[in-house]
């Protein structure tokens, strides 16, 4: 039997070894999920799903310290941020319950042509079928909730493959689901290697594919889907921020620092490229420098830690290579720019890296923020829109006309005004456009995607 060793990103100590699902086990899991879906006598009525979800929220609250501990240990996100993620995840379950009452059809008008006379028509929403979810490491609690709970809420069986670096949180959550009364087979966690995971994704028995991860992998897997399988893909970005001369610097800097260095920058909407008007660039850089140097890096299990490790040592090496390339090409290192250890990288600010180096053209996914000086706002907008990624962005200004004009011109799914790019609540539309993904991943959007519409037309002479 093949096993997966799960290591703590903080010190690379072994946390646990778990078995990896085999190809046969994956086939059995898919067949079991399909069998539950095809046999409507086994479907869970809505009131039962509500009861189960309420129990899940209660048990997650009751066992929150345990979940936070495991998640922070295997994922490396600091305790203070994992605690916030835990609260979001519990709220996500409650959101699913709330939105179960909003998934409904509507009357389709009939009778206004001779051919449609004597008819009454209504739409209704049904579960889409088997859902396959492939998850990422950076939010081990909340992403699992987003990729399983909507399916459970609408009555679609779901199989989830957790990230190989953070499978323990997923296994614990599925255990909690079953303790809450969810029958076996309705949500199955399948840690597995890439070949077995691809078997899940390509199966013609899967009706919906949910993916969170890199664009390279996401688009590849989408190309392998069976005909008819719907999907939602959430990839990364390189979140741009535009700062006008009238921006409120005192309140802005803490937001940018949090948005840039939260979870060591390993977030798909982390602040990465900050375009600052030349008249205030020195002041902005100086204030950011002061606050970034004060960040506390260390053990994610300590409640005072603000910046944890990167998920793997090779990611530390990669980030350092990108920073070194930018420095060699003329970027000024304001702070950071060095490895702290093989698992930690210094929170780093780069000033005016070249437009063609990796930190300017690709998603850094590390604790590095780039600041660029600009003269004309349209120039900053053009640079912000120059990459293939388009996820979340922001504009800082007190001028409502400037804000609205910038919102209109930025290529992004969401534009924050006077807030950092990583803002999110779980009921708002959230997802990338262009290379950054396909579809929207809020709890309500996911529930809608995991159902499909059916039309009923009744013909009667009395109508």
At residue 448, φ and ψ (nearest 5 deg) are -65, -45
Sign, Cα dihedral of 279, 285, 288, 290: negative
What angle do helix axes 46-62 and 167-179 make, rounded to 10 degrees? 120
C-beta separation of 369 from 420 below 8 A: no
C-beta separation of 79 from 101 below 8 A: no
The single residue of 192, 231, 268, 357 carrying the catalytic annotation is 268
C-beta separation of 143 from 212 below 8 A: yes
Catalytic residue at 234? yes
Q: Which helix (H) or strand (E) holds 30?
A: helix 23-38
The single residue of 74, 85, 234, 287 carrying the catalytic annotation is 234
Which one, of 386, 265, 257, 366, lies nearest residue 317 by Cα? 366
Catalytic residue at 248? no
Instruction: Output the DSSP codes for 86-118.
Output: HHHHHHHHHHHHHHHTT----EE---SSGGGTT
Q: Can you say how many angstroms the Cα of residue 377 is from the centroid of all Cα atoms in its chain? A: 30
Residues designated as active site: 234, 268
């Amino acid at each position: 039997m093949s096993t997966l060793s799960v290591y703590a990103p903080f010190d690379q100590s072994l946390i646990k070894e778990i078995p990896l699902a085999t190809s046969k086990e994956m086939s059995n899991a898919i067949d079991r999920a399909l069998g539950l879906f095809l046999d409507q006598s086994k479907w869970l009525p809505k009131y039962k799903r509500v009861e189960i979800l309420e129990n899940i929220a209660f048990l997650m609250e009751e066992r929150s310290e345990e979940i936070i501990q495991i998640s922070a240990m295997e994922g490396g996100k600091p305790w203070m941020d994992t605690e916030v993620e835990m609260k979001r995840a519990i709220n996500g379950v409650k959101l699913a319950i709330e939105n179960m009452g909003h998934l409904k059809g509507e009357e389709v008008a009939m009778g206004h042509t001779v051919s449609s006379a004597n008819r009454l028509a209504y739409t209704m929403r049904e579960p889409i079928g088997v859902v396959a979810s492939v998850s990422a490491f950076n939010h081990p609690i909340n992403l699992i909730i987003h990729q399983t709970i909507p399916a459970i809420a609408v009555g679609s069986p779901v199989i989830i493959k957790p990230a190989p670096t953070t499978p323990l949180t997923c296994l614990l959550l599925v255990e909690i689901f079953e303790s809450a009364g969810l029958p076996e087979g309705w949500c199955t966690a399948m840690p597995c290697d890439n070949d077995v995971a691809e078997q899940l994704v390509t199966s013609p028995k899967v009706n919906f594919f949910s993916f969170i991860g890199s664009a390279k992998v996401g688009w590849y897997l989408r190309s392998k889907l069976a005909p008819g399988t719907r999907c939602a893909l959430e990839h990364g970005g390189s979140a741009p921020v535009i700062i006008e001369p009238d921006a409120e610097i005192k309140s802005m800097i803490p937001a940018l620092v949090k948005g840039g260095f939260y979870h060591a920058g390993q977030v798909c909407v982390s602040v990465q490229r900050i375009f600052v008007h030349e008249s205030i660039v020195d002041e902005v850089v100086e204030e950011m420098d002061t606050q970034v140097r004060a960040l506390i890096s260390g053990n994610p299990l300590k409640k005072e830690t603000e910046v944890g490790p990167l998920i793997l040592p090779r990611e530390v090496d990669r980030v350092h290579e990108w920073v070194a390339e930018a420095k060699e090409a003329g970027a000024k290192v304001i702070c950071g720019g060095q490895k702290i250890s093989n698992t930690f990288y210094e929170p780093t600010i780069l000033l005016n890296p070249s437009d063609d180096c990796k930190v300017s053209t690709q998603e850094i996914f590390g604790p590095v923020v780039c600041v660029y000086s600009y003269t004309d706002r349209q120039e900053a907008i053009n640079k912000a829109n120059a990459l293939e990624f388009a996820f979340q962005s922001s504009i800082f200004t007190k001028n409502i006309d400037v804000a609205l004009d910038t919102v209109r011109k930025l290529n992004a799914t969401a534009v924050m005004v006077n807030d950092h790019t990583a803002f999110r609540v779980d009921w708002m539309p959230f997802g990338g456009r262009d290379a950054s993904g396909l579809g929207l991943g809020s709890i309500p959007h996911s529930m809608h995607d995991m159902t499909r519409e059916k039309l009923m037309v009744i013909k009667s002479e009395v109508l």
